[in-house]
Amino acid sequence: MRKSLPFGLKTENLLSLGALVVLFVLSSIASPYFLQLRNLLNILKQVSFSGIIGLGMAFVIIAGGIDLSVGSMTAFIGAIAILIVNWLGGGFWAIAAAWIGAMILGAVAGLFNGILVTKGRVAAFIVTLGTMAIFRSLTLYIGNAGQFISNSDAYGNMGMSSVLGVPTAVWVFFILAFLLSGLLNRTRYGRYVCAVGSNEKVAAYAAIDIDKIRMLTYVITGVMVGVSAVLLSSRMNSVNSSDTAANFEMDAIAAVVIGGTPMTGGRGTVWGVVIGAVIIGMINNMLNMLSVSAYLQGTVKGLVIIAAVFIQRGSARSRNGG
């Protein structure tokens, strides 16, 4: 019997967890500042926004899809959230409305992607490439290519807030990871997501409604985008229509892949996304501390993604016994 690991971790996580530990040791040797609590929390906070989206992306990828629209969608929903806050006067109820509105909007946007992919039978890559352009363009149009600035100090304070010394966004990231990990591993829906991604025909013959399962993965991702959009826009207390959440799709997909979920779908892990996101954050942090040009950080990130898939493929092959 395979021994079960604590915290819902799976054997797939071990590789990325090992990489995390190695990076951690290397970073603490490279810079004395690395191990300072403030720096560590800062890393977590930086990766939380795209990491939250990565949690939903894991479901999409496990079910055999992809969602490229999440970055633009974050900017779009963040902008709408700020408009709601301003419109309703910026108080508690305005912020509550922004939260609810953002999540509903995210669910609807995800549903739109999901319907086109399942009922419309258009490849997920194409659908979400299209909606990626649409959401960014709508944001630019509504904001006249400028900034959405919130009039509410309360909104901005929420974005900067901490609980027990840990930034709110980090709490949200971990709580959502816990919940979604349970959804993936302990519920019918999660099992069916893996089944659909492994073998669609078997799933269909097993009386699983594959379209519904798939569609919901995009809805989950949309809701995660809604959450991330509120956290991100409140942290800055503004949204820049052209570059807020730019490349979030890449960071989210990278976190999923580095965390050990194969792009071919069928299996994967939610906690792996957390590990993957933290690995990306630590690498960026180390590059900063070693004063490597910010422009080169993308190169490193790209190499890490490719290396992660390369290593996973090697280990999958050895597991299958040649």
Partner 1 sequence: MSDVLVRTSGISKEFSSVRVLDDISIEIRKGEILGIIGENGAGKSTFIKILSGIYTPTQGSIEFDGRRVELRDAAAAKRIGVSLIPQEFNLVETLNVYENIFLGEELRTRGGLLDRRGMIAHTRELMKELGAAVDPSASIRTLSVAQKQMVEIAKAIKIESRLLIMDEPTTVLTVHEIDILFALMRRLKGKGVTIVYISHKLKEVRSVCDRVMVLRDGRFICLETTDALEIDEMARRMVGRELNQIFPPKRKAEGEVAFRVEGLAVPGLVAGLSFEIRSGEILGFAGLIGAGRTELAEAIMGIRRVSAGRIFVGGRELRIRKPADAVKAGIAYLSEDRQGAGIITSFAVHKNVTLVSLGDYARPLISRAKELEKTRFYVDRFEIKAPSLDARLENLSGGNQQKVSLAKSLDTDPKVLIVDEPTRGVDVKAKHDIYAFIRELADRGLAVMFISSELEEVMGMCERIVVMREGRAAGQVEGGHITEEEIMYYAMGIKEGV
Residues that bind partner 1 (CB under 8 A): 1-2, 182, 186-188, 191-192, 194-195, 198-199, 201-209, 266-267, 320-322
Encoded tokens for 98: 């922004």
Closer residue to partner 1 (CB): 86 or 267:
267
- Least distance between partner 1 and beta carbon 2 (Å): 5
Closer residue to partner 1 (CB): 2 or 38:
2
Q: Annotate 196-215 with DSSP letters as a single string.
A: HHH-HHHHHHTT--HHHHHH
Inter-axis angle of helices 248-258 and 297-319, to 10 degrees? 30
Name the amino acid, one letter, at 38.
R
- Least distance between partner 1 and beta carbon 195 (Å): 6
The Cβ-side half-sphere exposure at 217, using a 13 Å CA radius, reads: 31
- Least distance between partner 1 and beta carbon 47 (Å): 29
Closer residue to partner 1 (CB): 144 or 320:
320
SS3 string, 73-110, reads HHHHHHHHHHHHHHHCCCCHHHHHHHHHHHHHHHHHHH
Closer residue to partner 1 (CB): 8 or 130:
8
- Least distance between partner 1 and beta carbon 216 (Å): 15
- Least distance between partner 1 and beta carbon 211 (Å): 10
| Contact between residue 147 and residue 241 where contact means Cβ atoms under 8 Å apart | yes
Q: How far is CA 77 from the centre of its chain?
A: 15
Closer residue to partner 1 (CB): 114 or 265:
265
Other Cβ atoms less than 10 A from the Cβ of 62: the count is 26
Closer residue to partner 1 (CB): 188 or 317:
188
- Least distance between partner 1 and beta carbon 76 (Å): 32
Other Cβ atoms less than 10 A from the Cβ of 240: the count is 20
Residue 162, SS3? strand
